[in-house]
Amino acid sequence: VTHLIQTATLCRSVSLSEQTCHLEFRVDGTDEFPYKPGQFVSVREPLIEGKQVTRAYSIASAPRAGRFELCLNRVLEGKMSNFLCSLPEGSQIHFRGPHGLFTLREPLRDSMFLCTGTGVAPFRSMLQWLLADPSRHEGHELWLIYGTRWETDIYYADEFRALDQLHPNFHYLATLSRGSHTWTGLRGYVQEYAKGIATSRPNNGAGTVHAYICGLHHMVNHTREMLLSLDWDQHDIMYERYD
Ligand SMILES: Cc1cc2nc3c(=O)[nH]c(=O)nc-3n(C[C@H](O)[C@H](O)[C@H](O)COP(=O)(O)OP(=O)(O)OC[C@H]3O[C@@H](n4cnc5c(N)ncnc54)[C@H](O)[C@@H]3O)c2cc1C
């Protein structure tokens, strides 16, 4: 029942960069916490002079008994993000959920997962889940196109690289918009690589490929408009905006 407020205990807090943290929670009092990859929780805490603040965070891990993980950025002067990133291990949070319709479409198609920054969170959940069982992804090409400014902001790179090596049908592309001269990987914006993949397909991938987009509205809108301009059906483009 998703309207109930539950509590969870922070088991592990890891900083992924200066402004980003990875948090692992155990739901209190139960091993049951079913959700679909891509869904989010609403964290609710009395942060402003006792007044409740509620913020959504995508779950960054595939469903596992009574556990979930988050990946979040400290937003400048942001109430909840700074509270959570500074939270000591062992602390309790209040939350509702799981919520949200940003989930994998069935039947699965060849799929592009397009994100920037912590927008990778729901895709870590989806891809962990999909790639855990051949029957979930066999016969389909999957691309994770992950854009950030700098190399230090590519989160979970080792995990995605390992999955890329293990699964010939999973392709991990990390691209930097402001990479230093030592960066030898891809450069440029997510939508350019998404366009490259779409246009390499018959009919620009329209009707045969799904796109999932997650991040700040600017990137989501640009990428969506690019695919619509290639005659994609809007129903084949799923998106989640963080702001
Ligand atoms: C469905 C959904 C899922 C989300 N999942 C995640 C997630 O997995 N990881 C994550 O880091 N965030 C996620 N967000 C964003 C998150 O809910 C908060 O908006 C964010 O953490 C800021 O909250 P805050 O209380 O710290 O800042 P606030 O006190 O609300 O805001 C402080 C200032 O920062 C600006 N601001 C608000 N959000 C952002 C932002 N995301 N980036 C830059 N500036 C911002 C505001 O305009 C405001 O001026 C998600 C949002 C939605 C709607």
Q: What is the pLDDT of residues 136-193, one digit of tens each?
A: 999 999 999 999 999 999 999 999 999 999 999 999 999 999 989 999 999 999 999 9
Whether residue 62 contacts residue 37, with contact meaning beta carbons closer than 8 Å, is answered with yes
Residue 237 contacts residue 211 (beta carbons within 8 Å): yes
Which pLDDT does position 148 carry in this prediction? 94
**Cβ atoms 117, 216 nearer than 8 A:** yes
Q: Which of 68, 81, 156, 240 to mutate to test the pocket of ligand 1 (most atoms within 8 A of CB)?
A: 81
- The helix/strand/coil state of 182 is coil
pLDDT at 81: 98
What residues in the chain have per-residue pLDDT under 50? none
E strand or H helix that includes residue 89: none
- Looking from the CA of residue 100, the nearest atom of ligand 1 is 1
| DSSP H helical ranges for the chain | 79-85, 121-131, 134-137, 157-166, 190-199, 217-229
Q: Are 152 and 180 in contact (CB under 8 A)?
A: no
pLDDT of residue 26: 98
Query: Is the CB of residue 47 below 6 angstroms from any atom belonging to ligand 1?
Result: no
Distance CA 152, CA 118 (A): 13
The whole-number pLDDT of residue 126 equals: 98
Ligand 1: residue whose CA is nearest its atom 26: 78
Cβ atoms of 126 and 156 within 8 Å: the answer is no
